[in-house]
Structure 1
Amino acid sequence: MTGNSAHLLNSKDIRSSGLETHDLNGHGLNASRIGLGTWAIGGWMWGGTDEAESIRTIQGAPDKGVNLIDTAPVYGFGRSEEIVGKAVAEAKMRDQVVLATKCALEWDDKGGVQRNASKKRVLKEADDSLKRLRTDVIDLLQVHWPDPVVDVRETAEAMAELKEAGKIRAVGVSNFSPEQMDAFQEVVAIDVAQNPYNLFERDIDHDVLPWAEKHDTRLLAYGALCRGLLSGRMHASREFPGDDLRNNDPKFAQPRFNQYLAAVDALEAFAQKHYDKHVLDLAIRWLLDQYDHAFALWGARTPDQLDAVANVPGWHLNGAARAEIKAIVDQHVTDPVGPEFMAPPSRKD
């Protein structure tokens, strides 16, 4: 296993791409502000996976300026981490990437998932992830979901122990409330908060984002393209195969689906008129301009799905433009719904 570099990660590929980078933990862990999200690469809830295509996607990401790779054990029940680890090891690119993964979910042999943020579970998952990722250090480990059965301070103790042991470089939490993060920080500082955030899912504007600003915490936004809704490639007759999670996402069910598609069309027209860009470019630029310490996760499982990353750097949205964009969304989406459908059950449920 490898992973003993200082991890400043300013390779020529990253510098020459023009894509913005930012310190992920305040201590020199430099990452691209767009990260590769690998949930779909795990196959589970995304209609399967193609390992060869996934490996090409991961290995080609640094050439496009993307050095942050985010995964989790539950993505394909270890499959996503295994593919990421294989891709990075085969290309000998460990010193070119920031590896972020998660912990505190468990699953059974029938595919049932539930939360478990006990200290014992977190410590075991970290060791399992190190093996699957073929590295001796995880750059960013995040608690995937808070566990109502376990005091967050117990979970934080496990994360502090892992950091002290040199197994992780930065500590993150995902889907936590400000109150839960306050309690967590009684034990160990939070470097990164990961939450759903995009033009259609803006709930954290009222709680998590102000908390992050107050504490100078990095925000790692997942669902930046809202499960593809903001890609500009969706249409009303689109069907999703197998266990694709969008079959259970209320946004993709009528009549809401048409509302979101109408908003996408209006946003596309706005982006074209004012910036000569597309709605996908606009969605990512909007997210990064909302907060100086924001990072956006971009889900991809084929190399070409990262091509549009090149359209993000070099321009910005001012406050007036962001206000107009919000008004466009609110005008068309009259029955909005959040990402609550993705929350896994707790053991007490």
Structure 2
Amino acid sequence: MQKNILKSGIEISEIGLGCMSLGTNYAQAEPIIERAIEHDITYFDTADIYDRGINEEIVGKALKKYQNRDDIVIGTKVGNHLADDGSTFWDPSKKYIKTAVKSSLQRLGLNHLDLYQLHGGTIDDPLDETISAFDELKKEGVIRAYGISSIRPNVIDYYLEHSEIETLMSQLNLIDNRPEALLNAIHAKNVKVLARGPVFKGLLTANSNHVLDNKFKDGIFEYSNQELGETIASVKEVESNLTGLTFKYLTSKDPIGSIIVGASSIEQLDENINNYEASKEISFEKLKAACGRVKNLEYTQHLK
């Protein structure tokens, strides 16, 4: 498995396990994490909000036996404040971030975090205060690196210019190619992209027709349902393995750090790994042809 290096020297596997889909049953989740390690996946992505902290507990418990391995990297996220009544509200304050990290560490069973990410954010946040919270945690040795999870260009631009983020998690795939406009700036700052949604809710899989009818009835972005179906059919003419193709698309981008795949079963994880390996055999000529058959989308909101 290809490993990509963050500015701090942390190495992350080019395929990362998105742990949100693991569920709350440890007996079912633990074998998936074990299989990920068998596949040489070393980056595990979770968040404090997933299943109200249970996901962090499961990830921490399953990976506890590997804590002596320097290559296992855990990333979690903060910002969605879970209230006592079960509701959430957005809280990017320094006070909350520096309190919440302690709870995440406890649930994960760790004394420090590899990667801590802001789980969203707007341009109206107290941005400098938020950044200082992460900077202080890093200086204190509580975290090794930090990043943001965002699809807002104005927020991303601010963090690129005013912080020491090492990762940007954002949806990116062959159809949702909006972040392309930001990739040069991201790469210039030596920030790595954690690409979530690589198969776009299943649209970029062998099950594309079913997903198109069930999840994209009204289309999406600049695509109507019909246009999306026609585009997928056209891309299939170039390469029938849509998942392999979107993996090829992602790994061809310089800032890619890790492609975050979710898995609720061992079989689903195996399929993703098989397609990742198959993507290496897809030519750049095919990739270029496929890219020529999709729309070049651009962000239309949160630009300033």
Q: Which amino acid aligns with 1:118?
A: S
| TM alignment of 1:243-262, pairs within 5 A | 251=219, 256-257=224-225, 259-262=227-230
Q: Which residue of 2 aligns with 1:31?
A: 12
Q: Does the Cα contact within 8 Å between 1:229 and 1:260 map onto a contact in 2?
A: no
Partners of 1:20 and 1:138 lie apart in 2 by 22
TM-score normalised to structure 1 length: 0.74
Deviations 1:32-72 (A, max 9, x none): 1111112222x5xxxxx543222111121021121111111
Q: Does the Cα contact within 8 Å between 1:81 and 1:129 map onto a contact in 2?
A: yes
| TM alignment of 1:111-150, pairs within 5 A | 111-150=86-125
Match of 2:203 among 229, 243, 247: 229
Partners of 2:225 and 2:58 lie apart in 1 by 33
Partners of 1:316 and 1:28 lie apart in 2 by 30
Match status 1:267 vs 2:257: no
Q: Which residue of 2 aligns with 1:216?
A: 190
Match of 1:324 among 274, 289, 293: 289
Match status 1:74 vs 2:49: yes
Partners of 2:66 and 2:76 lie apart in 1 by 20
Q: Which residue of 2 aligns with 1:55?
A: 30
Q: Which amino acid aligns with 1:212?
A: I
TM-score normalised to structure 2 length: 0.84
Q: Does the Cα contact within 8 Å between 1:84 and 1:133 map onto a contact in 2?
A: yes
Q: Which residue of 2 aligns with 1:312?
A: 276
Q: Which moved more, 1:126-135 or 1:101-110?
A: 101-110
Deviations 1:275-317 (A, max 9, x none): xxx2111111211112254421111121111213134244454
Change in 2 beyond 3 A, CA 1:187/1:216: closer
Partners of 1:75 and 1:262 lie apart in 2 by 35
Partners of 1:260 and 1:337 lie apart in 2 by 16
Q: Which residue of 2 aligns with 1:107?
A: 82
**How many residues of Structure 1 are paired with residues of Structure 2 in the alignment?**
298
By how many angstroms is 1:97 displaced? Answer: 1.7
Partners of 1:258 and 1:80 lie apart in 2 by 38
Deviations 1:183-228 (A, max 9, x none): 446664111111111112111112x322202212111111111122
Structure 2 unaligned blocks of 5 or more: none
Change in 2 beyond 3 A, CA 1:189/1:96: closer
Partners of 1:129 and 1:227 lie apart in 2 by 28
CA RMSD of aligned residues (A): 3.3
SS in 1 for 2:120: coil
Deviations 1:307-338 (A, max 9, x none): 131342444542x433321232349xxxx898
| TM alignment of 1:91-106, pairs within 5 A | 95-106=70-81
Taking only the aligned residue pairs, the percentage that are identical comes to 25
